Amino acid sequence: MSNTPGSRVALVTGGSGGIGQSVVERLVADGFAVAVHYAGNKQKAQTLVEKVTTSGGQAIAVGGDVADENAMASAFDAVEQAFGGVDVVVNTAGIMILSTVAELDLADLDRMHRTNIRGSFVVSQQAAKRVRSGGAIINFSTSQTRMQHPTYAPYAASKAAVEVLTLVLARELRGKDITVNAVAPGPTATALFLEGKDQATIDRLAGLAPLERLGTPEDVAETVAHLAGPARWINGQTIFPNGGIA
């Protein structure tokens, strides 16, 4: 598959997930050729690619553990081979395990750190070397870094590390015309978020924001699209698409 002259290219890690899929669809609508990254669910990523290509867009699927630097180097290689380069990297890949600090299984902490911190670092490292001038690197944090809800400490701590990594990288890429930002969503109605929650819990969480609803994956994708495209003067920032919750 060759890249259409003039179109921009995006790699979306975790692109087969709830927010990731919405990001892919929004970037395709904005004219991007998109690489849909998956860690375990190749079929889901391939189904999304087929949906994009059937509608006239350009997409490929690339796999690999985001914390494995060799796998990610190969994924970036595949994107460059298919489309000629990389302009935008959106790193939505992450895992969330909830527990109080006192009761956390430290193996779960290590697992989260591997994907959320090391994975973000590996993807950012590749992106810093590969993204073309005029491009954007967009990592994912969470509004829980500001909300301090019980049981979120391990997850929020891993995402706070992602924020710091992101904001420092923005300064390190001085002179390259590449923006680096973090997106930190609030409660968002994905299948993963809704799983295991009763209606009363969902209603309570929806009522936290002044706009009195949960966010949608499309709300988050709107923020990503802005940072990936026209928002060239937003750099080294953490953006909170959360309806005013924090």
Distance CA 229, CA 136 (A): 8
Distance CA 17, CA 172 (A): 30
Distance CA 46, CA 58 (A): 13
CA dihedral 127, 133, 175, 229 (to 10 degrees): -90
> How far is residue 2 from each of residues 56, 144, 237, measured CA to CA in Å?
13, 41, 34
The pair of structure tokens assigned to 112 is 């989260």
Q: Show contacts of 200-205: CB within 8 Å, 24+ apart.
A: none
DSSP summary character for residue 189:
-
Tell me the catalytic residues.
155
3-state DSSP call for residue 14?
coil
